[in-house]
Amino acid sequence: MSTILVFGASGQLGQCLAHVARERHTPGMVYLAEEQGNILDPAGLAALFAEYRPAYVINCAAYTAVDKAEDEVDLARRINRDGVENLARLCGEHGTVLIQISTDFVFAGTGNQPLLETDETAPISVYGLTKLEGEQVIPPLTSRYFILRTSWLYSEFAGNFVKTMLKLGRERDELRVIWDQAGTPTYAIDLAGCILHLIETESQAFGLYHYSNEGLTSWYDFATAIFALSGMAVKTIPIRTSEYPTKATRPLYSVMDKTLAKTALGIQIPHWRASLKVCLERLGAAE
């Protein structure tokens, strides 16, 4: 039986992987929280590889505090670049397939057309820059990798935009939400399913891919949909990004083209509204 090591297993995507793997009865999954699998500890990682001899490594470990990263540049870089480099080196040495999760924040977000994997990257935040650096350290160390860029992750696990909106919607009658940032929400359960599909099909179509749900929306329209599907009478007021200043700059347009993932990997991707409804039903929030 092949072993699949999941780093960062206590985070949102790690929990979603565990949930989907249980549903699919996926064998060989080993979930490592930071205490068991510190990607900044080369010696500890070497011991894990020697013990488990993994066929796959899924790296869900990341520094994702976008605004804090502006002040914690070194820490963000160590986790998002150096930790990935440690994993990629060992994967190369052991013939292990690395599945690395990246982000739409590698783009500047100044365009208005769905972004291809070949489009120029130009991150405008420390988070985006360090995640891009994490992508770049992989190819020199191993050819057996999948890099999946994703966006706007949410699920019934951990903290995320959907759960925050539901909480605030119970407390307030009115919310101001940004309308001039366009992207695509991604149900982390769907992303977990895509990752396990790569493993189950033993795909050899290694490389860089975009994965989010289908369609596009703004944070304002996303919030409005959350309340509508949940039957919550919350008035949403659209505001511009400039009215809600943050430490880190966000891409204004980060809708990604998923054609390559659908054709090369043979996956089907649900529309974001359909997946949102599933998530809300599982949270017990849908009408």
Q: Give me the CATH number covering residue 199.
A: 3.40.50.720
Classify residue 117: in a domain, yes or no.
yes
Taking only the tens place, the pLDDT of each residue in 12-43 is: 999 999 999 999 999 999 999 888 999 999 99
pLDDT of 285 strictly over 70? no
Classify residue 281: in a domain, yes or no.
no
Residue 234 identity (one-letter amino acid): V
DSSP string, 211-240: ---BS-EEHHHHHHHHHHHHT---EEEEE-
Task: With beta carbons less than 8 A apart as the criterion, state whether 154 and 185 touch.
Answer: yes
Our count of domains for the chain comes to: 1
DSSP string, 112-134: SSPBPTTSPP---SHHHHHHHHH
Classify residue 174: in a domain, yes or no.
no
244 catalytic? Reply is no
Classify residue 220: in a domain, yes or no.
no
Classify residue 223: in a domain, yes or no.
no
Task: With beta carbons less than 8 A apart as the criterion, state whether 145 and 100 touch.
Answer: yes
- Over residues 174-200, mean pLDDT: 97
Range of the domain at 112: 4-159+186-214+255-270
Classify residue 113: in a domain, yes or no.
yes
List the catalytic residue out of 63, 127, 209, 253: 127
Strand partners, 257: none
pLDDT of 287 strictly over 60? no
Residues 6+ apart with CB under 8 A from 231: 286, 287
Classify residue 136: in a domain, yes or no.
yes
Predicted confidence band of residue 3 (pLDDT cuts 50, 70, 90): very high
Classify residue 114: in a domain, yes or no.
yes
Residue 50 identity (one-letter amino acid): A
Taking only the tens place, the pLDDT of each residue in 143-185 is: 999 999 999 999 999 999 999 999 999 999 999 999 999 999 9
Residue 61 identity (one-letter amino acid): A
DSSP string, 140-176: TT-S-EEEEEE-SEE-SSSS-HHHHHHHHHHH-SEEE
